[in-house]
Amino acid sequence: MTSEHRRGLFRRERAVTPLDGIDVILADLDGVLYAGADAIPHAVESLNTAQADGIRVACLTNNAARTDRAVADHLTKLGFDVEAHDVITSPQAATRMLADLIPAGSTVLVVGGDGLVAELDKAGFEVTRSAEDGPAAVVQGFAPEVGWLQLAEASFALADDSVHWVATNTDWTIPQARGVAPGNGTLVSAVHTAVGRLPLVAGKPERAIYDLAIERFEAKSPLMIGDRLDTDIAGANRAGIPSVLVLTGIDKAKQVLAAGKDERPTFVLSDLRELHEPYPVAKVSKSGDAVEVRRASVRLEGSTVRIVARGDSEIDLLRAASTLIWGCGRPIYALEVPEELYA
């Protein structure tokens, strides 16, 4: 079922939960299940309840610093019911991509941490940290210890145009317990500046990691849950699957209202408890200039978005406003939007 098809539920009379008809949840980690070392409130009980109801949970992460086993151990300590097999990492997707680019057993220069090295070892590649070893490819992923020396080695190797370059992801930021920090995209950009070309990307929003997860879990009706429009949600739309944006990580109301067509989620949730609640129907007027979600309502008057009724919750007001703005056919910068909708 495509995202556009699921989005059509807005005009139905009966509200359904985001989990209706879903057999596999594809869950992002940072900002969705945890922030730093701590679980996001309500995430553990919400996903464990889904599993108890017969829905499998696959954990998708662009973070290349840790192995699938390390990620699973962390999640288990937080209370999630997860094993290593349930974790799909961008290094796994990158390694599969490499298998199509270079011969088996080739030397690969790694910029990153244990998660990358472990997957390359499993696949039989020879790992190096030096451009002097004549690598057939460079694989670049995030790790806290990555610094100038590793970036320089990658640049030296990639001066040869025949050397393939694969990045696990190009996320500009990564949520941490203390706030938002630079992500792998900033490190990839540094190498790009030095070598003048761009890598192939294995992780979200590219399809490789989604295809790997769907294949591993034999998913017939998956649902992606993420906190970033430009990676989690854009990737789900590219893969043709419905998606949830949960407002516990990077993107908030302002980003939701401004989301381009390719980055719009099927559902917007305050937290993961709402996975199990009926998702309210957005009632759109025949003229398309007014939207109601339960007791919240907004109207478009010329180029101005007006709040008619705030309703009982901020999330319903955001759902109504985003439906109105997405459906009006105009970019958000051409509209006057009340600051209280996104502040």
28 included as an active-site residue? yes
The full length of the chain comes to: 343
**The one catalytic residue among 20, 23, 30, 171:** 30
Q: Contact 16/275 with Cβ under 8 angstroms? A: no
Alpha-carbon span 195 to 99, nearest angstrom: 23
30 included as an active-site residue? yes
85-89, Cβ contacts within 8 angstroms, sequence gap of 24 or more? 85/216, 86/56, 86/57, 86/58, 86/59, 87/58, 87/59, 87/61, 88/58, 88/59, 88/60, 88/61, 88/209, 88/212, 88/213, 88/216, 89/61, 89/63, 89/64, 89/115, 89/119, 89/168
**The one catalytic residue among 23, 28, 230, 289:** 28
Q: Contact 222/26 with Cβ under 8 angstroms? A: yes
Could you give the residue numbers annotated as active site?
28, 30
